[in-house]
Amino acid sequence: MKDLLPPPVVLLTAPIGACQGELFPEEHEPIERAVEKRRREFTAGRVLARRALEQLGRPPVAIPTGSQRQPVWPDGVVGSIAHTNTLCAVALSDDPALLGLGIDMEPAEALPDGVLRRVCRPEERDWLAAQPPEDRALLERLFFCAKEAVFKCTYPRAEVWFGFEDATVQLDTEAQHFEAQLHLAASEDALPGVLRGRIAHAEGHVWAATVWRDQAASR
Ligand SMILES: CC(C)(COP(=O)(O)OP(=O)(O)OC[C@H]1O[C@@H](n2cnc3c(N)ncnc32)[C@H](O)[C@@H]1OP(=O)(O)O)[C@@H](O)C(=O)NCCC(=O)NCCS
């Protein structure tokens, strides 16, 4: 999984049961009325995030939740959290050239009935229809996964909410890359027009990760 987001990103994954521990007082509010499963996945994200902060040489601080559920990272840090029923993943970096990071993982199986039409645009469904039938279940899940990673990458900085229909994703399974083009009026200023990322299929999950680079910093 390390290839998904190589340094300067710290990427940690662990079973949810292996990263339970104490929360900071300001982290309790989002899960006050949550069921046990949700409390455990939320806790795993915070505990794993503090392990990642430690790897960046940073102190273990609270990671509050923003009004749209986004994690609020310490100043100078960008990151992303994902969980499934069994696994938790956290990606973090304090590289000033990065404006955002997004990671998502999903069970490696077809989307539930009816969801594909909401997730994929017509041109994406045409591409899927041309793929070998035995590959389609994973590919449709990868579209979903890549789009969620793009949203998680951009939202904390841009604070622009957009839907699955607002992004066109191209998957390159051989190179294990994807490219997402955002079709939004706001994309000229608040959002990147295009984001590139990596995809993978491992540990019974499909994975997608993307990095939003500050183009001005790389000139
Ligand atoms: C927010 C969303 C992406 C979360 O994905 P999910 O599959 O439900 O859950 P995951 O386990 O993968 O990720 C959950 C984590 O995402 C993070 N997250 C939630 N909302 C977020 C946001 N607005 N911005 C950034 N990260 C967010 C949180 O860390 C959350 O974990 P936590 O609540 O324990 O801290 C999803 O629920 C959603 O609302 N999607 C609609 C928007 C979208 O994806 N548009 C597609 C654009 S192409």
* Residue 152: predicted pLDDT: 98
Does the beta carbon of 76 lie inside 6 Å of ligand 1?
A: no
* Helices and strands, counts by H and E, the chain: 5, 8
Does the beta carbon of 167 lie inside 6 Å of ligand 1?
A: yes
Mutation test residue for ligand 1: of 28, 43, 46, 81, the one with most atoms within 8 Å of CB: 81
User: Pairing mode, if any, of strands 177-182 and 205-213?
Assistant: unpaired
Does the beta carbon of 141 lie inside 6 Å of ligand 1?
A: no
The edge-to-edge listing of strands for the beta sheet with 194-202 is 98-107, 205-213, 194-202, 177-182, 167-172
Q: Confirm if 21 and 98 have CB atoms less than 8 A apart.
A: no
CA of 148 to the centre of ligand 1 (A): 7
d(CA 154, CA 152): 6
Closest CA to ligand 1's atom 21? 70
CA of 59 to the centre of ligand 1 (A): 25
* CATH assignment, 105-210: 3.90.470
Q: Residue 210 belongs to what H/E stretch?
A: strand 205-213
Question: Tokens representing 28?
Answer: 């309790």
* Residue 186: predicted pLDDT: 65
CA of 51 to the centre of ligand 1 (A): 21
Does the beta carbon of 144 lie inside 6 Å of ligand 1?
A: no
Question: Tokens representing 78?
Answer: 């960008």
Does the beta carbon of 143 lie inside 6 Å of ligand 1?
A: no
Question: Tokens representing 76?
Answer: 């100078």
CA of 152 to the centre of ligand 1 (A): 6
| Alpha helices by DSSP H, the chain | 36-55, 115-119, 122-129, 136-158, 215-218
* Residue 218: predicted pLDDT: 63
Q: Which pLDDT tens digits describe the chain residue by residue (219 residues)?
A: 677 888 899 999 999 999 999 999 999 999 999 999 999 999 999 999 999 999 999 999 999 999 999 999 999 999 999 999 999 999 999 999 999 999 999 999 999 999 999 999 999 999 999 999 999 999 999 999 999 999 999 999 999 999 999 999 999 999 999 999 999 876 567 899 999 999 999 888 999 999 999 887 765
Residue spans in the chain of domains classed CATH 3.90.470.20: 1-101
**Helix, strand or coil for residue 82?**
strand
User: Pairing mode, if any, of strands 205-213 and 194-202?
Assistant: antiparallel
CATH number, domain 1-101, options 3.90.470.20, 3.40.1130.10, 3.40.50.2000, 3.40.50.1780: 3.90.470.20
- 79: Cβ–Cβ under 8 A, 6 or more apart, which residues? 49, 52, 71, 73, 90, 91, 92, 93, 101
